[in-house]
Structure 1
Amino acid sequence: MHFTAATLALAAFATSVSAHATMFGVSVNGVDQGDGRNVYIRSPPNNSPVKNLASPDLICGPNGGRAVGTFVKAAAGSKLTFEWYHDNRNDDIIDGSHKGPIITYIAPFTEGNGVGPIWSKIAEDGFSNGQWAVDKIRANNGKIDFTLPANIAAGKYLIRQEIIALHEGDTAFSQNAARGAQFYPSCVQFEVSGSGSVVPNQNFDINKGYTSQDPGIVFNIYQAVTSYPIPGPKIFSGSGASPAPAPVTTSAPASVRPTTTAAPVVPTTSSAVVVAPVPTPSSAAPVVVQPTTTAVVPPVPTTLATLVRPSAKPTRRPCPAFGKAKKREN
């Protein structure tokens, strides 16, 4: 039998009444922290979705501004497991028609409802290898794992996780209030320990950042899906930031002379001693560059005859040894 997109949409709508979800509890590194509903989770009064992108309920649910008395304690870098359910723990979690992503954000702790530019994304799962994140959480008994950033600063936080069901997401809620993507948000209070110093600072405003123009919010799951653009910013990478590289110096090493005073360079193919030109009376003494190994000095060209200091005697005194500069008298 051939099913059209409209038929599938109607079937999804028929099951939507009893297909909702909410969060039950949290595990830290595999240790169950117990039933967190209204204990460390700001639990909503029921498992109904939020559809209005401008509503403050989109952030942490209808009870998002009601702080609870307990915090889940976890060290930075811990593996966290959030557990969802439908009506009872370990049930069908959420209807299989409600395909979509699961996204996790973090913000500094507030007793308010989380509205405003305070959120940073720390985990996401959309569509990969033919499976939606909702398919995976259903197969995993309502549990989804992610890692708390290892270098996050110690302190109190809100961690918000949401399931977005796209079975009616081919039309924006702003265009048709009977349709639109369904959001199931839940906020958990955490107290994080550790020596990290990174404070998440994406400053994402969910009410303003999620719009009806977002292709990840208005999305037709009944088409042939090969990829999916997850809403919101990229995953916050500041937790893995490394120190800035040392600045590169552009000054010359101390051993390098300025080019205006450097001695003539000896070609590498010659081992002869190079003698600088004869200075004028006002110039400094000529610079003599000696080779590192003893070499035979070729005959002095006639043009260098003026280097010989005049003597009172008619004859010239021979040099004591070749290859060495004559010591100059003061």
Structure 2
Amino acid sequence: MAQKALFAVVLGAVSAAAHGFVETITVNGKTYDNYNPSTFPYNPSPPVVPGWTADFPDLGFVEPAATGDPDIICHRSATNGGSHIPVAAGDTLTLKWSPWPESHKGPIIDYLANCNGDCTTVDKTALRFFKIAEQGLLDAASSNWAADELIAAGEVWEVTIPTDIAAGSYVLRHEIIALHSGGQPNGAQFYPQCINLEISGGGSASPSGVAGTSLYTETDPGVLFNIYTATEYPIPGPPLYNAAKKTRRHAKDVRAC
């Protein structure tokens, strides 16, 4: 009984400080649970999931000062997901976030990295990420951001795998950057989520990428950024992979990135 009471107190504290995480991933009619930072740390036998484990029971963030640290790759002290989700090139994944605060406006960005082997054991610092999707400031007049679209869709976001990507084992790095305090140094908040995918079909494209620790710096214009005076927004990170640009023009990418 005391253990249950303690668990309730922990969950209450987490809820009070909550920001968010991806709860589930759905593709081809099947839904997969993701790593749950609110409950898994307190479960002696947590389920094996494709999402990477990370140390953020407060549902907190990675700060800009850590953009050169391994924590930025897949969240704080992240370790490999224990399984993978089978998808085909061209498939669309539906990511369901926990409730996201309306104040936490900012871009949503998606990357892939080829594990060149088993994603359940790959060294995260060896992963090289290429950007497959991005959405930032959608309407300056109404201050409508990608994160606002996420909320309007019921905390749902869609990500389409490029059709020409070579088959293999990949990590999907899906991320919201909250910019409500981004106008001050070290004020932006990164919420990276990593999920193992096994991609089939597709073509032979193997885009080059960059290390997760080289995606951003804390002074990038899209990281150190005042959303309250914005008329346009430079989305941070490397440029979109070319095939992703083509997909983006033809898909419903306000929610499909």
TM-score scaled by structure 1? 0.59
Corresponding residue number in structure 2 for 1:44:
54
Superposed displacement of residue 28, structure 1:
1.2
Confirm whether residue 159 of structure 1 aligns to residue 164 of structure 2: no
Maintained 8 Å contact 1:27/1:81 = yes
Amino-acid identity (%)? 39
- TM-aligned CA deviation for residue 112 of structure 1: 4.0
Assess, with a 3 A threshold, how the Cα gap between structure 1 residues 172 and 32 changes in structure 2: closer, same or farther.
farther
What is the distance in 2 between the residues matched to 1:100 and 1:211?
17
Query: Which has the larger share of strand?
Result: 2
Question: Which of residues 111, 119, 125 in structure 2 aligns to 1:115?
Answer: 125
Instruction: State which of 64, 67, 78 in structure 2 corresponds to 1:53.
Output: 67
For the pair 1:22 / 2:21, whether they are aligned, the reply is yes
In structure 2, the CA distance between the partners of 1:125 and 1:154, relative to structure 1 (3 Å rule), is same
Task: Give the Å deviation of 1:158.
Answer: 0.2
Higher-Rg member (1/2): 1
What is the RMSD of the two structures over their aligned residues, measured on CA atoms? 2.1
Residue 34 (structure 1) aligns with:
32
Question: Which protein is richer in helix relative to its size?
Answer: 2
Code of the aligned partner of 2:189: Q
Quote the residue 2:7 is aligned against.
Answer: none
1:23/1:43 contact within 8 Å kept = no
- Asked if 1:216 is matched to 2:227, the reply is no
Aligned residues of 2:113 and 2:171 also touching (Cα < 8 A): yes
Aligned position for 1:226: 231
Contact 1:100 1:166 in 2 (8 A): yes
1:241-271: CA deviations, max 9, x gaps?
9xxxxxxxxxxxxxxxxxxxxxxxxxxxxxx
Q: Summarize deviations over 1:100-126 as a string: whole Å, max 9, x none.
A: 001000001243453256110001110
SS at 2:83 equivalent: coil
5+ long unaligned stretches in structure 1: 1-15, 86-92, 174-179, 242-330
| Residue 103 of structure 2, aligned match among 93, 97, 105 | 97
Q: Which amino acid in structure 2 is aligned with residue 166 of structure 1?
A: L
State how far apart, in whole Å, the 1-side matches of 2:134 and 2:83 are.
Answer: 26
- Which residues of structure 2 form unaligned runs of 5+? 1-14, 36-47, 247-257
For residue 186 of structure 1, the aligned residue among 185, 193, 196 is 193
1:127 lines up with 2:137 in the alignment:
yes
Question: Which string of whole-angstrom CA distances, capped at 9 and with x for unpartnered residues, describes residues 139-168 of structure 1?
Answer: 112111121000111110000011101111
User: Per-residue displacement from partner, 1:209-261 (whole Å, max 9, x unpaired)?
Assistant: 311331100001121x22111001121015689xxxxxxxxxxxxxxxxxxxx
SS in 1 for 2:173: strand
Question: How far off is 1:78 after superposition?
Answer: 0.5
Alignment coverage as a number of residue pairs: 209
Query: What's the CA shift string for 1:166-188, capped at 9, x where partnerless?
Result: 11111222xxxxxx210001100
